[in-house]
């Protein structure tokens, strides 16, 4: 895949994301496949991205590794620690120009220098995050951040289509894993 970096190309890329997310099978498993494709599309279409992927929130508030493109990563990001969890609690995009300046940053890939995390919503709740790591400092400028915000909106729309997704997290957390499911 060719790298693309201008605004017109960003629009084309967003069209491709919409296409990958347009599958009308409204299940968690088909969403999972779509997100695997989105990870690979973004990582290979844009410069200097060493890791692109998703973490799903469980009912304990941990973030569990989902589909991704990049090196082997942490399987579970515990509540209250790291950049991804900050995006979850802020309910907003977190842009970290230098990961060394973020005290509780969780280093999964030693090549990462800057990081952008986009929260993903079902109704008004954060149910997952899109995590993007760059091998360059201060990589996520306004245009690139806007591209990933829009990507997040498209994917959030897709979460919103899954019937009872929030109930799956709250009641049937074993569908996406839960550290305390054995206690129930
Ligand atoms: N750096 C993230 C952890 C996930 S890896 O970057 C893939 C964090 O601090 O939450």
Residues 108-164 pLDDT 10s:
989 999 999 999 999 889 999 999 999 999 999 999 999 999 999 999 998 887 777
Give the nearest ligand 1 atom to 84 CA: 10
Residue 74 in any domain: the answer is yes
What is the DSSP annotation of 70-115?
Answer: ES---SEE-TT-HHHHHHHHHTS-EEES-GGGSTT---S-TT--EE
Domain presence at residue 174: no
Specify the pLDDT at position 162.
Answer: 79
Instruction: Write down the pLDDT at residue 174.
Output: 54
Q: Whose CA is nearest to atom 1 of ligand 1?
A: 106
Total of domains in the chain:
1
pLDDT over threshold 60, residue 175: no
CATH number at residue 15: 3.30.450.40
Enter the tokens of residue 92. 């907003």
Instruction: Report which protein residue has its CA nearest ligand 1's atom 3.
Output: 106
Percent of the chain having pLDDT more than 70?
89
Q: What is the pLDDT of residue 35?
A: 95
Which residues form the domain of 132?
7-166
Tell me what pLDDT residue 2 has: 47
Pairing of strands 125-134, 114-122: antiparallel
User: Phi/psi class of residue 141: alpha, beta or left (left: φ > 0; alpha: ψ in -120 to 50)?
Assistant: beta
pLDDT in tens, 61-90: 999 999 999 999 999 999 999 999 999 999
In a domain, 131, yes or no: yes
Q: ∠29-150-137 over CA atoms, to 5°?
A: 100
The answer as to whether 173 is a domain residue is no
Residue whose structure tokens are 């997704």: 165
Hey, which of 106, 107, 111, 139 would you mutate to test ligand 1's pocket, going by the most ligand atoms within 8 Å of its Cβ? Answer: 106
């Amino acid at each position: 895949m060719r790298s693309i970096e201008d605004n017109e190309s960003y629009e084309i890329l967003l069209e491709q994301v919409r296409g990958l997310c347009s599958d009308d099978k409204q299940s968690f498993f088909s969403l999972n496949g779509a997100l695997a494709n989105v990870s690979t599309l973004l990582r290979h279409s844009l410069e200097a991205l060493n890791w692109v992927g998703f973490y799903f929130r469980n009912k304990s508030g941990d973030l569990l590794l989902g589909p991704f493109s990049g090196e082997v990563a942490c399987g579970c990001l515990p509540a209250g620690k790291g950049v991804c969890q900050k995006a979850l609690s802020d309910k907003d995009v977190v842009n970290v120009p230098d990961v060394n300046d973020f005290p509780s940053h969780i280093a999964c890939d030693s090549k990462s220098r800057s990081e952008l995390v986009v929260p993903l919503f079902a109704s008004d709740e954060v149910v997952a995050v899109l995590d993007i790591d760059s091998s360059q400092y201060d990589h996520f400028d306004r245009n690139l951040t806007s591209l990933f915000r829009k990507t997040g909106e498209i994917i959030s729309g897709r979460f919103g289509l899954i019937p009872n997704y929030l109930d799956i997290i709250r009641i049937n957390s074993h569908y996406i894993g839960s550290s305390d499911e054995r206690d129930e």
